[in-house]
Structure 1
Amino acid sequence: MKKYVYPSEISGTIAAPSSKSVMQRAIAASLLAEGESRITNPSFCDDSLAAMRVAEGLGAAVEKKSDSVIIRGGINPVTDTLNCGESGLCIRMFTPIAALTGKRMVLTGEGSLTSRPVSGIEGALGQLGVSVKSNNTLLPIEVSSILKGGTAAIDGSMSSQFLTGLLMALPLAEKDSVIKVDNLKSREYIDITIDVLKKFGIRVDNHGYNEFKIPGRQKYTSTDIAVEGDWSGAAFLLCAGAIAGSVSVTGLNSESCQPDRAVITALRKCGAGVTVEKNVIHVKSGSLRGFEFDATECPDLFPPLAALAFYCKGETVIWGAGRLKHKESDRGAAIISEFKKIGGTVKIDKDCMIIRGSSLTGGLTDSHGDHRMAMACAIAAMGSSDAVEIDHAECINKSYNEFYDDMIKLGAEIK
């Protein structure tokens, strides 16, 4: 699918999308809890739907309503193959959970997920008593024999998602567990995991993000849980407001654990007008200037901040580019190639991305099948001299189905 996004001035108020990060964790916890759990303000993006299908495959009954999802939990697999779609969190979180069954289970994926390595999963689960086999470190991944617990060491430098899976599965293991983690990135996503676990009655002891102690033989308690607004998706709306008018985004918790709330810091550094109220963030354009920002702990902010930086006078430096390689695309390379097509000046030097304020000209871009690239190209078009055409624009469904509709509500011209 193609989208044509025209230079536009935007204004208005829009609700933030629901957090798929919280949603997927709530689905997994509801699966592990006997009884009925209710998830309100749910996300129905592709990644969340994939998590629901996996939960159903593992034995949960899932009922989708317009404003909630009801899950009756309990692991009793009805299939031996689980398709995680294109969700990296889904594959890394549900692999340890599938190993609780003690049965042979095969986890597969689609699209870009099939080329993302799963080598860290194999090594750690092997240390915890699980027989694991992958396709030369790629999907599909097969687990057999039961997750017993114990001690394991993992590398957290590429992603915290597999640690999330261990923290969710190991409370149900026979033995107590200790997970030692080296160089953990995106620590605040682990805070989200632990917060969800607490809501379901599960205890995990975090010792400085280097060691996690998980008592075994615990029991998940079914509960009601509300999904908060998604800072990752809202970042595109907020940056669009700074580029081309003003925007107010509701449903955002300024004290959230989500690391992408740091977009507020970047917006203030560049000179945008930012007002934070309870559950509402207001952003308006101003005299924008180049800025420096460390996105090592929040790499999903690279695409919206790159789009913003082209409208900032002077040079912008964003640190943490080393974390962009294994996303839905090689996201660093995608930012360089696609923004150059529409007049942008951007390069990567070691761990930093350097962007020079440019007059974007419009033109043809490709999302690379990456939802965040599609949204970045769309908001970059707000201030360009001509329309930006986005090929494979439908990939936004991975995280934010309503993105184009919400931008249109704010005044953007999109066809």
Structure 2
Amino acid sequence: MKAVTIQPFSLNGKVKIPPSKSLCHRVIIAAALSNGQCTINNISMSEDIIATCEIMEKLGAQIKKIPDGLHINGKCASGFSSLGFVNSKLENNVAARNELECNESGSTLRFLIPIGMHSGEKIIFKGKGKLSQRPLKPYYEIFDKQNIKYTTKGGCLPLTIEGKLKPGNFELRGDVSSQFITGLLYELPLLNGDSTIVVTTKMESIGYIDLTLDVLSKFGVTIENNNYREFKIKGNQCYENRDYSVEGDFSQAAFYLAAGVLGGELQCLDVNMESLQGDKVIVDIIKDMGGNISLVDGIIKASKSDLKGSIIDVSQCPDLLPIVAVLGALSVGTTEIINARRARFKESDRIKAITTELNKIGAEVIERGDSLIIHGKPWLVGGIVNSWNDHRIAMALAIASTRCTENLTIEDSGAVKKSYPDFYQDFMRLGGKVNEWTMG
């Protein structure tokens, strides 16, 4: 297991924000479903994105790595009449051909279950780490309603499915995960008939649905959105091939914006302030806490600030919880992070994880059912923390190190590979002092 020890130094300079992982997933899938050649620029081959690419290749798309991107030769709906099995080494191994490995990527799993079912052949979705336990109940309810045969291991992965979705009416809660709705929005246009998705509760993570609808539109798929309560989908549509350049990821920019206001001066490049990404709200969150953030010539600049506690609703941006908790721990007064229930069902229980680890290094964080109460302090003390095998916990703790009085050691630091393999390299380019070593 890898660990890093970080000396307390402020971060300064310019950083190129990696491409949006949420958009990378969506664009790769749309291109793979299209009928023709697509060039996708600005792709970061994190572990999650590799998982999505490998499954789309198994389903028949041809994907070639190029400098800073991918060439994708897609398959329209007719091309997915059966699994592609493009890897000739697997042709005589039926078990291996039908196994779709999602690694630890929740987006890969939930987006691709409906698409993988398109052929109606037997498929097996597998995963690693906590992914095997993450909820899939909304899909199970659909399978039961449509009499689709499936088996699980106590409700968890591996998930074996035999059958294909039929067009019709689909009812889903909006407060579990938008990923289930996204998965259906990708597959239902390919079916031989019209469908409707009815959202039975208030929609959370609307920004992620906006990203899905925007990508689908750009690839020629039409969805009628009735105020996020109902989506009407015409069947027999076909994805159109096109080229696409992925914009920078606000969920990753959040770490550097936080580092800037905590004691440095950072400029974040390759971010789009007109973005539909829900995590763009980090700019407003930091400003509301008194952070010095400005936008000049398309570059977001964050500099040392006197932060004050605030009440922050993360129902639309649960991925921001770990870094917002760090900001609260180093602000004047009390910060309350509310409506965070879904953060318990990520790569880790992020409410418990960030509470446990910040308190180890001198913070005062109180865990509630779906919220955190944080009494801010000017400094944290450092020590030994653990990432809980969660990339966002690891990166948030690394940023916390900039306001520690002693070194901070992060165990299982390699979790960042899930979304941002070059995180520690970028951290060091900005002045961070990082020593990586192997525990054993």
> Normalising TM by the smaller chain, what interval?
over 0.9
User: 1:388 aligned to 404, 408, 420, which one?
Assistant: 408
1:411 maps to 2:412: no
DSSP 3-state at the match of 2:409: strand
Cα deviation digits, residues 333-354 of structure 1 (max 9, x gap): 0011111110110012343211
CA distance in 2 between counterparts of 1:409 and 1:177 reads 50
1:116 alignment partner in structure 2: 134
Task: Kindly provide the CA deviation profile for residues 63-104 of structure 1, in whole angstroms up to 9, marking residues without a partner as x.
Answer: 011212011112342121100111101100100001111111
1:144 aligns with 2:162: yes
1:14·1:248 contact (CA, 8 Å) conserved in 2? yes
- SS of equivalent to 1:220: coil
Matched, 1:337 2:356: yes
2:399 is aligned with 1:398: no
Instruction: Determine the C-alpha separation between the residues in 2 that align with 1:149 and 1:129.
Output: 13
Alignment of 1:15-414 (within 5 A): 15-74=16-75, 75=80, 76-77=82-83, 78=85, 79-128=97-146, 130-183=148-201, 184-358=203-377, 359-414=379-434
- CA gap of 1:23–1:129, structure 2 versus 1, over 3 A, is farther
Whole-angstrom distance in 1 between the partners of 2:150 and 2:138: 11
- Aligned partners of 1:187, 1:334: CA distance in 2, in Å? 25
Letter matched to residue 249 of structure 2: D
What are the Cα deviations for residues 350-396 of structure 1, in whole angstroms up to 9, with x where unaligned? 43211111231000000000000000110000011001100000000
Equivalent position SS for 1:325: helix
Corresponding letter in the other structure for 2:49: S
Q: Hey, what does 2:10 align to over in structure 1? A: 9
- Contact 2:44 2:68 survives alignment (8 Å): no
Q: Is the 8 A contact 2:248 2:271 kept in 1?
A: yes
Deviation at 1:404, TM superposition (A): 0.8
TM-score w.r.t. length of structure 1: 0.97
Could you say if the C-alpha distance between residues 302 and 410 of structure 1 is closer, same or farther in structure 2, counting changes exceeding 3 Å?
A: same
- Secondary structure of the residue aligned to 1:240 is helix
Q: CA deviation at 1:280?
A: 1.4
Taking structure 1 as reference, are residues 129 and 225 closer, same or farther at Cα in structure 2, changes over 3 Å only?
farther
Answer yes or no: is the 8 Å Cα contact 1:30–1:73 preserved in 2: yes
Unpaired runs of at least 5, structure 1: none
Which residue identity lines up with residue 186 of structure 1 in the other structure? S
- Supply the RMSD in Å over aligned alpha carbons: 1.3
| TM-score normalised to structure 2 length | 0.92
**Whole-angstrom distance in 2 between the partners of 1:106 and 1:333:** 31
> Quick check: 2:3–2:410 contact (8 Å CA) kept in 1?
yes
User: 1:125 deviation in Å?
Assistant: 4.0
How far does the alpha carbon of each residue in 1:231-262 deviate from its partner, in whole angstroms, 9 at most, with x for none?
01110111011112110001111121111111
In structure 2, distance between residues paired with 1:126 and 1:89:
22
Letter in 1 for 2:39: R
Cα distance, 1:27–1:65 mapped onto 2, change above 3 Å? same
- Separation in structure 1 between the aligned mates of residue 50 and residue 351 of structure 2, nearest angstrom: 27
Aligned to 2:89: none
Question: Relative to structure 1, is the Cα distance of residues 71 and 125 closer, same or farther in structure 2, using a 3 angstrom cutoff?
Answer: farther
The whole-number CA distance in structure 2 between the counterparts of 1:186 and 1:87 is 18
Whether contact under 8 Å (2:150, 2:161) holds in the other structure is: yes
Rounded to whole Å, the distance in 2 between the matches of 1:198 and 1:125 is 27
* 1:178-222 deviation digits (Å, cap 9, x = unpaired): 111122210110110010001110001111111111000001111
Identical counterparts, % of pairs = 37
Query: Quick one: distance in 1 between partners of 2:276 and 2:302?
Result: 21
Aligned residues: 415
Cα distance in structure 2, aligned partners of 1:277 and 1:195: 26
Q: Structure 1 residue 127: deviation in Å?
A: 3.7
Decide whether the 8 Å contact of 2:263 with 2:305 is kept in 1. no
The structure-2 alpha-carbon separation of the partners of 1:260 and 1:364, relative to structure 1 and needing over 3 Å to count, comes to same
Query: Does the 8 A contact of 1:127 with 1:152 survive in 2?
Result: no
Q: Is the 8 A contact 1:253 1:278 kept in 2?
A: no
The worse-fitting range, judged by mean Cα deviation, of 60-69 and 367-376 is 60-69
**Alpha-carbon distance in 2 for matches of 1:23, 1:127:** 32
**Matched-pair contact (CA < 8 Å) for 1:127–1:151:** no
Instruction: Give the CA deviation at 1:289.
Output: 1.4
Distance 1:128 1:220 in 2: 25
Contact 2:381 2:404 in 1 (8 A): yes
CA contact (8 A) 2:10 2:259 kept: no
- Following the alignment from structure 1 to structure 2, what is the Cα–Cα distance between the partners of residues 64 and 22? 17
The alpha-carbon deviation at position 54 of structure 1 amounts to 0.7
Q: Structure 1: which amino acid aligns with 2:260?
A: G
Supply the AA of the counterpart residue of 2:325: A
Which whole-Å CA distance do the structure 2 matches of 1:129 and 1:279 have between them? Answer: 51
Residue of structure 1 equivalent to 2:93: none
2:139 alignment partner AA: I
Which digits, 9 at most, give the CA deviation of each residue in 1:119-150, with x for residues without a partner?
11111244456433322321111222222211
List gaps (5 residues or longer) in structure 2. Answer: 86-96, 436-440
Describe the SS at the equivalent of 1:34. coil
Secondary structure of residue in 2 paired with 1:241? helix
> Residues of 2 paired with 1:155 and 1:130: CA distance?
20
Instruction: Tell me the secondary structure at the aligned position of residue 150 of structure 2.
Output: strand
Measure, in 2, the Cα distance between the counterparts of 1:133 and 1:251: 44
